[in-house]
Structure 1
Amino acid sequence: MPTVGIGDLTDENFLLDVREDEEWDAGHAEGALHIPMSEFVARYGELTEAAPQDGRVNVICRSGGRSAQVTMYLVQQGIDAVNVDGGMQAWEAAGRPVVDDKGRPGAVV
């Protein structure tokens, strides 16, 4: 399955966060699209509307397990998708900004 490291992502890259609501509310990457894995198939249309037509979808969760499953699903649908290696834990450890649901500094739970 295709993966990408945190260091290879820029602010311009499209990021899909598939963690659950309470995880998202505590802390997420600013500008990411949030569709929890538990609701993903039902809300798939939100991704197709928001994702860049000519770019890849970088899928992230807490550590990489759930995002790997969603990435495999997206690839099967013909979407250029990659799993973000290490997830939000690696994102935070790399010093990338994390905000809460109110836009204040957040934390990965």
Structure 2
Amino acid sequence: MTITKEKIEGSLPDKEAILSVRNLKTYYPITGGLFKRKIGEVKAVDGVSFDLHKNETLGIVGESGCGKTTIGNTILDLVPLTEGEIYYRGEMIGDSFKKSLRKNIQMVFQD
């Protein structure tokens, strides 16, 4: 089964999914000049969407510097979200919910 980018981005989160991410974007500002004004941005993560269901494991694979760790850090709110939506068990993750969520999610790094 093939799922197109348009189907995922435009869809509501799957109610059966443990974790749903829609159009996740994480940008870092580039500053310059005397007053450190924002002159641009680095798009570390740009438009990532996925659903993770019960008894599934998500492996994010890619080249060095492609945003793998940033995706996890953004979901755990260790890095600020620029745009997008994150749902845990069908509920949008809000500020009060993020701390309790960290206890139930972990990242595993492997070589």
| TM bracket (short chain) | under 0.3
TM-score computed with the length of structure 2 as normaliser: 0.26
Relative CO higher for 1 or 2, CA cutoff 8 Å, sep ≥ 6? Answer: 1
Which structure would you say has the larger Rg? 2
Between Structure 1 and Structure 2, the one with more strand by share is 2
TM-score computed with the length of structure 1 as normaliser: 0.26
